[in-house]
Amino acid sequence: MTNVMGFTVLDDDKNVYLVADSQRTAIDYMQKGTVQKLFVAGNNAFASTGMSPYITSLSQAVIELGDPTPKQAADKMLEIGKDLKLDRKNPDHRLETVLAGVEQIAGSKERRPVLYHVFVSGGERLESGYFSVPTAFVGSGGSLVWGALQRDMETSNIEVKDIIEGMMLGFSLGQTAGHDIGVDDKLQIALVGPDRMRLLYHPLVNLESLRDYFTYFAKTFGVRAQEQGETDQRFTDINAVLNDLYHAILIGSSSMSVADRTVNRNNTMSKVDSSNRERYEKQRLEALAERDKQKGYVKELVDGWAGGDIAQVVAALNSYRDRRNTRYSKAVEFVKSQQK
């Protein structure tokens, strides 16, 4: 059971996000997972839903291609599906992948990010194949995500205009999908742009190999792969930065979501209770100001990450820590005042 989400950011670069949960399909769905589901092959990131042995075979084969084009990677996935002799009529053989990569625009030097939904074995009603899509939501968490997304679109409550809004959407929908018993909300995130890929894994996710850790640091901060041993502590330090970054972005995104709910509630009350409209409008504007402030904090973090600038990330984390310490001090002061 899985949640894999891919969606396009409506900015000038048409960045794409690929997000997956971390729970392995197993008999005991109450056992939350820390399994790597987001893999990288060259400039492609991909995540799959299906039985673990099939996903492992598919992932290894694509990674061995080195740096394929998105279509080459998708073709390889279909080839592996045939080799595995997957039966579309068998629900246990269903295997789908969402792939984010970069393609060269024909007749131009321009490159653009793309999303492919790959039906390696798509079930009785779907032939194997792949399609370029603006969004893709697959796995058992997909029905919950689609419901939440459709509601937000119908109410004009969502507009992914930049990578900050995209990051918040990923966390928000990840938490929604986490209500499924076979899905958790420990996210694995890839941002793919025309000339970059950035990765971010939940701190509890265990990457499968040293190569995956090298890829994580190389894609995110441009760290060159080196021999194991002499750089172990340095890589541990980099990992600590990324772990703290994940938590800081999660907290900031959650604060934006809380402000969103307050804005929406006051907007609704202003419509249905016109006698108190002035009060609700005042509260709505206050909530909007709070959301803008929280988005500014998240922007500091995400911009450093998206720019591959570890110094900028650390500076943003230090600012985050200072704000938290201020709140801790206020909490101590209040509690002590109540204990007198």
> Which domains are present in the chain?
4-225 (3.60.20.10), 236-339 (no CATH)
Closest CA to 158 of 256, 250, 245: 256
Task: Give CA–CA dist 253/245, Å, rounded.
Answer: 12
DSSP letter assigned to residue 276: G
Task: Give CA–CA dist 228/230, Å, rounded.
Answer: 6
Whether 294 and 252 have beta carbons less than 8 Å apart is answered as: yes
| pTM of structure | 0.90
Task: Give CA–CA dist 292/83, Å, rounded.
Answer: 51
Closest CA to 193 of 34, 30, 43: 43
Place of tokens 């969606």: 7
Whether 134 and 178 have beta carbons less than 8 Å apart is answered as: no
pLDDT in tens, the chain (340 residues): 678 999 999 888 789 999 998 887 554 454 456 889 999 999 999 999 888 888 989 999 999 999 999 999 999 999 998 888 877 777 778 889 999 999 988 888 889 999 999 998 865 556 778 999 999 988 766 666 666 666 666 566 678 899 999 999 999 888 776 666 667 889 999 999 999 999 999 999 999 998 899 999 999 999 876 655 555 778 889 999 999 999 999 999 999 999 999 999 999 999 999 999 999 999 999 999 999 999 999 999 999 999 999 999 999 999 999 999 999 999 999 999 999 7
User: Edge-to-edge strand order for the sheet containing 4-8?
Assistant: 135-138, 4-8, 16-20, 188-193, 196-201
Phi/psi at 192 (nearest 5 deg)?
-120, 120
Phi/psi at 280 (nearest 5 deg)?
-65, -35
Task: Give CA–CA dist 108/90, Å, rounded.
Answer: 44
Report helix, strand or coil for 52: helix
Where would I find the beta strands (DSSP E) of the chain?
Answer: 4-8, 16-20, 39-41, 44-49, 95-104, 111-121, 129-132, 135-138, 188-193, 196-201
Quote the longest CA-to-CA distance of the chain: 75
Please, which contacts does 321-327 make with residues 24 or more away whose CB atoms are closer than 8 Å?
323/297
Closest CA to 163 of 322, 44, 295, 333: 295
Which burial class, exposed, middle or buried, applies to 85 when counting CB atoms under 10 A from its CB (0-12, 13-18, 19+)?
exposed
Which burial class, exposed, middle or buried, applies to 168 when counting CB atoms under 10 A from its CB (0-12, 13-18, 19+)?
buried
